[in-house]
Amino acid sequence: MTESTPPQKKEVFQKKIGEIVAEDYRTATVFDKYGIDFCCGGQVLLTTACQEKNLDFDVIQQEIKAAKSKPLERSQNYATWSLSFLSDYIVNTHHAYLNEEMGPIASYAHKIVDVHGTNHPELIKIATIFDKITSDMKGHLREEEEILFPAIKRIEADKKNSSPSQSMDSAVIKDSLGRLYHEHEEIGDAVHEIRRLSNEYAIPEDACNTFNLTYKKLKEFEEDLHRHVHLENNILFLKADQFNS
């Protein structure tokens, strides 16, 4: 007789990565540890992610349980925030980070190409990819700040006041979400390619201080992007789409 799957284990088996992190952000530390994408790749089932990474599901499950037992900071309970507050948080935290850091990172990337590009041709590809990320991200952030987020705020206010939602706002949200989801995937793929080209941001023996700093900044950029896109894909956009239905 085949042993049946325990109810609790079966429930976790059926959950997607993004759903798990949206329910409890403390679990993000586990996925970060094993290089599991919980933002752009958040729609993948936990079981599938474990199989792709050749990870023991039971071990991951125990680590997720341990992460959930740690004290939860009120500032991390994103799923309980209003969409308006979450939108402002994303702009003031993650958009501000991007606007401040993208230019310097691109500059550092080109500097190390000039010095180390001959011995490390992968740096040329990394700089080119990051240039495109920077260019694409500017329009992406502008659409969120000037078009999507204001529409989400108006829809939420209408719901709160039991007022009929403006059909124009509903159309704007529907149109923007499809496009922004796709752009998130493209940017996520580009960042993953940088990670691959840099050999997981490994510092070579002949690296100078600027080389070291550039890889450190690129790693920080990826980590911030994971949190940023997670908040949008798995919480803000998902709830906005539900509000808009």
The 10 Å CB-count burial string (b at 16+, else e) for 107-118 is ebbbbbbeebee
Residue 212: CA atoms inside 13 Å, Cβ hemisphere, count? 5
Q: What is the DSSP letter of 26?
A: G
The residues pairing with 51 across neighbouring beta strands, listed in sequence order, are none
- Among the listed residues 125, 113, 101, the one whose alpha carbon sits nearest the alpha carbon of residue 211: 113
- Alpha-carbon Rg of the chain, whole angstroms? 20
| Tens digits of residue pLDDT in 162-183 | 766 666 888 899 999 999 999 9
SS3 content of the chain, % helix, strand, coil (to 5): 75, 0, 20
**What average pLDDT does range 33-62 have in this prediction?**
86
Among 8-17, 70-79, 166-175, 230-239, which stretch is predicted with the lowest mean pLDDT? 8-17
Q: What is the pLDDT of residue 91?
A: 98
Residue 10: predicted pLDDT:
41
pTM: 0.80
Lowest mean pLDDT of 36-45, 82-91, 124-133, name the range.
36-45
pLDDT at position 13:
57
Mean pLDDT of 105-134: 97
**Contact 172/148 with Cβ under 8 angstroms?**
yes
CB within 8 A of 160, min separation 6: which ones?
Answer: none
* Share of residues in the chain with pLDDT > 90 (%): 58
CB-CB contact of 62 with 217 (8 Å): no
